[in-house]
Structure 1
Amino acid sequence: MKIVHVITDLAVGGAETMLVRLIRTSQREGLQHVVISLSREAPLADRLVELGVEVRVLGMRRGMPDIRTFRRLIRWLDELEPDVVQTWMYHADLMGGAATYGAQAARFLRGAHVKRPALLWGVHHTDLRLAGSARMTRWIARACALISSRIPDRIVCCAESAKASHRQGGYCAQRMTVIHNGIDLERFHANPRAREMLRRSLGIGALTPLVGIVGRYHPVKDYGTFIAAMRIVIDAMPECRFVMAGQGLDPSNDELAALLNAAGIAHACSLVGPQAEPQTLLAGLDVFCLSSSSEGLPTVIGEAMACEVPCVATDVGDTALLIGTTGRVVPPQDPEALGRALCSLLALPRDELTRLGHAARRRIQSHFSIEASWRRYEETYVEALGKREQSAI
């Protein structure tokens, strides 16, 4: 089976990282992956190349593609002759879906009898309203909703909440299925040395309580709520410290630095930017926090849980389903509730935090492993291919 993945970009994000992990997990004889990135932003391309995957970068500029880049995508899909085209995120769903039909039309015009590949879209956002996203992204999502009953064979959603939101927004319910993001349990696991190493790198004491948050700097992550919750924790536990990691969460971000200074907590928070080895940071925390106003199934929560770190998170997407009874879930955009929940976990005895951490990893092992996720993707591909072959008879 040859699977061509068309993705908006290969930046370090949840969907992009999930693609890399799925490919790594699924590598075996008789299965071939090719990845096409629409954007020039492709720092994860090297990881795929190391896995022996062919990566093509279309080089599309921000905004709507020009006709030349679209024709190139059609030509590539024609050349590759995939069995399955899997698109990832709205821009790739629209452009990759149209190009898949364009490649089939090109084959028809030259008299080639090659069946159209199974086409699957990927939905990796919960809220179709896309608060905080660009206007163009919202338009593209609405365009996808309008053609969702005719273009893709299946629509893969990363969470039940994403499926419900997009169904309400006009996506075709009959073509939608849910495959939760999977966690790489070999990479993300408890590390007894990580606690000491992380605290040493941050210049804080070995016994200092430490809360972390990981993500890109984006309105949907609602760092304003996290900062207000930090203030509540510091008032109750002045010795507590925080670390923020991810794209844009670094000292050069003047806007973020101003927010921390205004809250009077800059002294208690380290901004460390993107992490090449996030598992080391996660495993060194006492508590992980997620303050987002919208999510699908947040992979980073599952990663922290796999590292045996209890989590406090806002009740968005399938976060509550992911955490279960191993942490705390609070309403979004409620700094007081988030702060209280963080304090309640940090106040627990060390052995109770350890027990919650063990339970968190067991939950990921049972329900959210990367192997289980790939099995669901493969089953969905085989099912879609079978329907395509039946319709061709």
Structure 2
Amino acid sequence: MKKVLFLITGLDYAGAEAQVVQLSRMFRGAGFVVQLISMIEPAAYLEELTAMGVGVLTLGMRKGVPDPRAVFRLRRLVRSFRPDVVHSHMVHANLLARVTRLFVRMPVLACTAHSIHEGGRIRTWLYRLTDRMCDVMTNVSQEAVNRYVTIKASPPDKIRLMPNGIDMERFCFSARARMQIRQKLGVEGRFVWLAVGRLAPEKDYQTMLGAFSEVCRSFPQTMLLIAGIGPEEAELKRYCETAGLGEQVRFLGLRTDIPELMHGADAYLMSSKWEGLPMVLLEAGASGLPIVATDAGGNREIVQHGVNGYLSTPSDPTALAGEMRKLLGLSSRRRAAMGRLSRERISRDYDIRAIARRWEVLYEQAERSRGRRGKLERRSGVPL
């Protein structure tokens, strides 16, 4: 029975964390023993992980505060669990796992980046410096993989594309359920855009709200629901009041019923400056929603312009508004067809069961490759 140890920077309601939880569920269902370690105190998914039999531990670090003692805490936990695979997610966990491997045996170490941009030159240099400590590096979009090779954060023979996956069954609802959700939200008779994500600069909600303000002039019956919290919340609410959008933009706060919100919406909207392969776009596609998004990171790998949605230039409210108007100008039948194409695409390419199996194969390949390197090292006496 395989043992997998996931190491993640933090455990909150966000895309990378949601993916780790889904992989944990898939691996547990396949008979794996799974343990999860969060560098900082976990804040989400604890009941869900406990119910599926996944142990959740923390290194007790504080956000933004480097702590060298974490290396030795992690070493102790790895020695105790004795995993077959250590799989780290996001830059801080990736670097910590690599350094810790100098002090404890890890049969296989896989490191996953979840964005096209994880920081500046120092983090890129640290990735280069520690590259030899990991067996395989992955990123969630081809665009991100290409960039990591270009900036030499990982050599081309080490980094692989491994997209996020999604549980399609969580995003199946009936027409009756949709009607009930819309009644509950109080949006009957309105065209509803939905946006989900942290209210932070990289998500660029200022551009979204600017674009929505333009669209409202010609489509006054539309409204925007925003689910999420973050440091820009107060500023964004002030903008809406000043722009006279108080009745048409609703901030829903932190929500755990995203599948229901998706099913109650008519279209999905994203304005990010950069992305990896956003889980929320996979969720929107799985929900059968047409999508308008900025052409950032792996978004174009989900949204085919003019097929299941529209792509816009990042940080350009007028351009985003233009793509929104295109979608609003379509017939309801054409928008529904776009939504069906979204769902078909996600089901074909991003089903979590297929993605989890791909991870199993990648772990096995890394294990065999490391075994071959070990034999060559012993024969030659030279580290490879």
Check conservation: 1:34, 1:55, Cα contact below 8 A: yes
2:197 counterpart (210, 215, 229): 215
**Aligned counterparts of 2:109 and 2:129: Cα–Cα separation in 1:** 13
Q: Deviations over 1:150-190 (max 9, x none)?
A: 11110011111111122222222221000111121010234
Deviates more, 1:155-164 or 1:95-104: 95-104
How many Å apart are 1:313 and its aligned residue?
A: 0.5
Equivalent residue letter for 1:125: S
How many Å apart are 1:143 and its aligned residue?
A: 4.1
Match of 1:133 in 2: none
How many Å apart are 1:97 and its aligned residue?
A: 1.6
How has the CA–CA distance of structure 1 residues 215 and 194 changed in structure 2, closer, same or farther, with 3 Å as cutoff? farther
Q: Deviations over 1:64-107 (max 9, x none)?
A: 43243331111111111111110000010111221122123xxx
Instruction: Confirm or deny that 1:178 pairs with 2:161.
Output: yes
Check conservation: 2:166, 2:283, Cα contact below 8 A: yes
How many Å apart are 1:30 and its aligned residue?
A: 4.3
Instruction: Confirm or deny that 1:119 pairs with 2:143.
Output: no
Match of 1:16 in 2: 17
Deviates more, 1:188-197 or 1:211-220: 188-197
**Aligned counterparts of 1:101 and 1:346: Cα–Cα separation in 2:** 56
Instruction: Confirm or deny that 1:150 pairs with 2:109.
Output: no
Match of 2:237 in 1: 257
Q: Deviations over 1:275-309 (max 9, x none)?
A: 11100001111110010010011111111111111
Matches for 1:165-314 after TM superposition, within 5 Å:
165-171=147-153, 172-204=155-187, 206-248=188-230, 253-314=233-294
Identity over aligned pairs, percent = 31
TM-score by length of 1: 0.90
How many Å apart are 1:377 and its aligned residue?
A: 1.1
Equivalent residue letter for 2:86: V
How many Å apart are 1:249 and its aligned residue?
A: 9.0
How has the CA–CA distance of structure 1 residues 338 and 183 changed in structure 2, closer, same or farther, with 3 Å as cutoff? same
Check conservation: 2:27, 2:34, Cα contact below 8 A: no
How has the CA–CA distance of structure 1 residues 283 and 49 changed in structure 2, closer, same or farther, with 3 Å as cutoff? same
Match of 2:74 in 1: 73
How has the CA–CA distance of structure 1 residues 363 and 190 changed in structure 2, closer, same or farther, with 3 Å as cutoff? farther
Equivalent residue letter for 2:248: A
SS of equivalent residue, structure 2 residue 296 = coil
How many Å apart are 1:127 and its aligned residue?
A: 2.2
How many Å apart are 1:42 and its aligned residue?
A: 2.9
SS of equivalent residue, structure 2 residue 101 = helix
Match of 1:387 in 2: 369
SS of equivalent residue, structure 1 residue 266 = coil
**Aligned counterparts of 1:28 and 1:198: Cα–Cα separation in 2:** 31
How many Å apart are 1:29 and its aligned residue?
A: 5.3
Check conservation: 1:248, 1:273, Cα contact below 8 A: no
How many Å apart are 1:139 and its aligned residue?
A: 6.4
Equivalent residue letter for 1:163: V
How many Å apart are 1:378 and its aligned residue?
A: 1.1
Deviates more, 1:165-174 or 1:186-195: 186-195
2:299 counterpart (302, 311, 319): 319
RMSD of Structure 2 on Structure 1 (CA): 1.8
Equivalent residue letter for 1:246: G
Match of 2:4 in 1: 3
**Aligned counterparts of 1:66 and 1:358: Cα–Cα separation in 2:** 48
Instruction: Confirm or deny that 1:373 pairs with 2:363.
Output: no
Note the residue ranges of structure 2 that are not aligned, 5 or more in a row: 376-384
Instruction: Confirm or deny that 1:340 pairs with 2:330.
Output: no
How has the CA–CA distance of structure 1 residues 139 and 321 changed in structure 2, closer, same or farther, with 3 Å as cutoff? closer
Check conservation: 2:200, 2:231, Cα contact below 8 A: no
How has the CA–CA distance of structure 1 residues 85 and 140 changed in structure 2, closer, same or farther, with 3 Å as cutoff? farther
Match of 1:134 in 2: none
Check conservation: 1:287, 1:346, Cα contact below 8 A: no
Check conservation: 2:98, 2:130, Cα contact below 8 A: no
Deviates more, 1:43-52 or 1:184-193: 184-193
SS of equivalent residue, structure 1 residue 86 = strand
Instruction: Confirm or deny that 1:90 pairs with 2:94.
Output: no
Match of 2:43 in 1: 42
Match of 2:104 in 1: 103
How has the CA–CA distance of structure 1 residues 381 and 305 changed in structure 2, closer, same or farther, with 3 Å as cutoff? same
How has the CA–CA distance of structure 1 residues 249 and 237 changed in structure 2, closer, same or farther, with 3 Å as cutoff? farther
How many Å apart are 1:63 and its aligned residue?
A: 2.6
SS of equivalent residue, structure 1 residue 387 = helix
SS of equivalent residue, structure 2 residue 302 = helix
Q: Deviations over 1:114-142 (max 9, x none)?
A: xx4111111111125x4xxxxxxx46623
**Aligned counterparts of 2:149 and 2:359: Cα–Cα separation in 1:** 20
